[in-house]
Amino acid sequence: MMMEVASIVYKPEDAVSDPATQYVRVPLDSAYLVSGYGIEGDRKGGNPKRNLNLMSFETLGTLREEGFSTQPGQMGEQIVIQGMELGKLTEGDRLQIGDRACVEVVNQRTGCQRFEQIQGKSAKLAAGRMGVMAKVITSGKIAVGDPVKLLPAMFESENLPNQKISSG
């Protein structure tokens, strides 16, 4: 199965919500990812430790069957990817989204008290299945239906000065 963007949502700067009952997320057909920020115009962007919440389309289906609210944005996610198990990604893994944008996994998403308030369930019930937090490495436009690729691992040696490797 091809990996692709299934959903994009963001929180506009002027969005007003009841923090105890809902995440305010507006669906988008396309968005511009800004390096070091997140989705352009997203009130949730700019956190230097994490710019985006990414979740798996298939995992959202399972969580829906378990009684979680999983319409776009209801789990607090911003981008949903179909065909990829995000829970298997680790810190430093990179994804190319669309033609140019690149994001890097920062850590697994664990949920918070606000998640529990909104969902009416313990975050522990969704542990290991809440997707990942990521930062935008390369800016670019993305759209629903765009392909997503797991990029080859980067080797630390690429960043080191040239070194001779001895065979003996």
Residue 117 maps to which CATH number? 2.40.33.20
User: Is 64 exposed, middle or buried (CB count within 10 Å of its CB: 0-12, 13-18, 19+)?
Assistant: middle
Which residues are within 8 A (CB) of 55 and not within 5 positions of it... i.e. 6 or more apart? 75, 77, 79, 80, 81, 86, 109, 130, 131
Q: Say how many domains are in the chain.
A: 1
Distances (CA, A) of 123 to 18, 81, 158: 19, 21, 39
DSSP one-letter code for 86: G
The parent domain of residue 49 ranges over 4-10+20-153
Residue 29 located in a structural domain: yes
158 occurs within a structural domain: no
> Which one, of 131, 168, 137, lies nearest residue 154 by Cα?
137
Whole-angstrom distance, CA of residue 162 vs CA of residue 139: 29
In a domain, 59, yes or no: yes
- The answer to whether residue 97 is domain-embedded is yes
pLDDT digit string (tens) for the chain, length 168 residues:
689 999 999 988 877 766 656 677 889 999 999 999 999 999 889 998 889 999 999 999 999 999 999 988 889 899 999 999 998 999 999 999 999 999 999 999 887 788 888 888 888 999 889 999 999 999 999 999 999 999 997 655 444 444 444 444
pTM score: 0.86
CA atoms lying within 13 Å on the CB side of residue 108 = 13
The residue ranges of DSSP E strands in 25-167, in sequence order, are 26-28, 30-34, 38-39, 52-56, 79-82, 94-97, 101-108, 132-138, 140-143, 148-150
Q: How far apart are CA 88 and CA 152, in angstroms?
A: 15
The two structure tokens encoding residue 70: 């999983």
